[in-house]
Structure 1
Amino acid sequence: MNDTTPNTLNALNSRHGKLLDPETLRIHRRLPGNIDRVWSYVTDPDLRRQWLAGGTTALQPQADFELVWRNEELSASSAERPEGMPAEHRATCRVLEVDPPRYLRYAWPDAGEVTIELEQDGAEVLLTLTHRLLERPALRLNVAAGWHAHLARLVALVSGDAPPSLWATWKTLRAEYEELLCVR
């Protein structure tokens, strides 16, 4: 039986991602509710922009879609934005595989390949995010902290809690991942 008390879920959902190999990051999160609701947060641009990025959606293999990050909108203030980070970032990604509402794999130009897997587990959904082809140490570091911070917002939103400030969370996590991934 899973222990899903709030304190246990918070500890589980705060765990750092792990490198499966030097270029592959994996993060697991548990979210309350049903798989269709979580899938909508992954694929619906209006819901997705509340935790990750707006843009467009495509759910057919080989179709392109755009992700538009405006992380200041996910942060307490624009002053939190780290030096050198853009106010807006766009990427045209390509769907490689999709099996709604369980699986999405897409290519992210210059940043590798992302797989999001969802599995219903009782009253919860297990989300497994795998980001492959993280060839540069700085990219691994920023992506690890970024996914962790964005997923913290997703967990809060799906749980009905106030989401944390993206940039403040990212800064803290980046320092932690710098130690964990031995990137200087």
Structure 2
Amino acid sequence: MNEYGVVLESGAVRFERILPGPVERVWAYITDSDKRRTWLASGEIEGRVGGKVELLFKHSEITDEAPPERYREMHDNGWLGHGKVTRYEPHRAIAFTWPGEPEAKSEVTFELAPEGERVRLVVTHRRLANKAEMTSVSGGWHLHLGILADRLAGEKPRGFWSGHGKVEAEYAARYADLPQ
């Protein structure tokens, strides 16, 4: 399986990972604030369609590496964003508008399927405004999902910032032929 995300259509990228199960455990790492804070962001996600989503991105909670200057504020102080749940099927799927500008809400969907003792996680991020946003979002998901895989495997999480520039450059190259 390719670790890199693939473009589905204009403004949409998809990632697949096979993770240690069971499904209930992976679901908890997506929906429970304390578990999610170890690989992505803390905050409440109300378990119902229309429920509120509050994500506090504070990268100092997922890595001890120093960030590039442009991300220092998010790393040290965090950034709080809000969205709404658009799909809710416990232990199968959850989708919500991604925290950001109100008029330009993208949407992320997490879908889980058991595969024996493991779980297939498919993350799809849609309605990304342009190639630059797709590149940035793809690099972020790539790294965050790697940390999630490490957490679920009981391993020391890989570095976030040490891989950031390389991964973002790889996505920029992969998306070079996409329209702006």
Flag whether TM exceeds 0.5 (same fold).
Answer: yes
Paired with 2:37 and 2:95, the residues of 1 have a C-alpha distance of 18
Question: Superposition RMSD on alpha carbons, in Å?
Answer: 1.6
What is the identity, as a one-letter code, of the residue corresponding to 1:102? R
2:95 to 95, 105, 129: 105
Which SS does the other structure have where 1:169 is aligned? helix
After superposing on structure 2, the runs of 4+ consecutive aligned residues of structure 1 that deviate more than 4 Å are none
Tell me the CA shift for residue 90 of structure 1: 1.5
Which SS does the other structure have where 1:84 is aligned? helix
Calculate the TM-score normalised by the size of structure 1.
Answer: 0.87
Paired with 1:117 and 1:26, the residues of 2 have a C-alpha distance of 11
1:175 to 169, 173, 178: 169
Calculate the TM-score normalised by the size of structure 2.
Answer: 0.89
Q: Is the 8 A contact 2:23 2:119 kept in 1?
A: yes
Matched, 1:154 2:140: no
| Ranges in structure 2 where 5+ consecutive residues have no aligned partner | none
1:65 to 46, 53, 57: 53
| Ranges in structure 1 where 5+ consecutive residues have no aligned partner | 1-11
Tell me the CA shift for residue 70 of structure 1: 0.7
Paired with 2:16 and 2:164, the residues of 1 have a C-alpha distance of 17
1:143 to 137, 145, 166: 137
Matched, 1:20 2:8: yes
Paired with 2:164 and 2:116, the residues of 1 have a C-alpha distance of 31
What is the identity, as a one-letter code, of the residue corresponding to 1:144? S
Tell me the CA shift for residue 142 of structure 1: 0.8
Q: Is the 8 A contact 2:45 2:51 kept in 1?
A: no
The number of residues matched between the two structures is: 170
Tell me the CA shift for residue 25 of structure 1: 0.3
What is the identity, as a one-letter code, of the residue corresponding to 1:97? R
Paired with 1:167 and 1:58, the residues of 2 have a C-alpha distance of 30
Q: Is the 8 A contact 2:65 2:160 kept in 1?
A: no
Which SS does the other structure have where 2:15 is aligned? strand
